[in-house]
Amino acid sequence: MNLAIVYTSKTGNTEELVNFIKDLFLQKKIEVRLFRVEHFPIQEIATFDAIIIGTYTWGDGEIPKETLALYRAFEIQDVKHVVTGVVGTGDSFYPKFCGAVDAFRDMLYVHSHLAVTLKIEITLQTQDLERCRRFVDIFIKNLGYVKAQC
């Protein structure tokens, strides 16, 4: 299994979230590689079995500029076989809460096998831990579904 979590984080909230999710996969004995977006080999997206994107939302619901190349790569590469998920942090004070998660979700739904998304209000809270566990469980179930289809 070639699973990657690719993320960007401005304040550290998204980084905390993806590290927690990575640990949940490791607890289930699933190896995962964690990449900051600027260190991820974008040209090799199609070689991964599964990719989770972690992002914050910028401005009025936009994806951060450092994730634009990743976004575009998913649009142009053949990634239908790649199981994907999106997690993100945001502030519901803004009209487009976690708009970057929504933008990635909509694009990945068309270009990959989108399994699940998760939005977190600003930073991980106790009540979010179970939601993260469900995210991982759903993602893992989708990995099995895709393998069965091959």
Enumerate the β-bridge partners of residue 113. 83
Query: Length of the chain in residues, anyone?
Result: 150
Global confidence as pTM: 0.95
Which of 74, 69, 72 lies closest to 85 in space, CA to CA?
74
- Residue-wise pLDDT tens digits, 90-148: 999 988 999 999 999 999 999 999 999 999 999 999 999 999 999 999 999 999 865 55
- Residue-wise pLDDT tens digits, 5-20: 999 999 999 999 999 9
Instruction: List the domains of the chain with CATH numbers.
Output: 3-149 (3.40.50.360)
Task: Round to whole Å and give the CA distance between 4 and 84.
Answer: 10
Any long-range contacts for 25-31 (C-beta under 8 Å, 24+ apart)? Answer: 25/136, 28/136, 28/140, 30/1, 30/3, 30/140, 31/1, 31/3
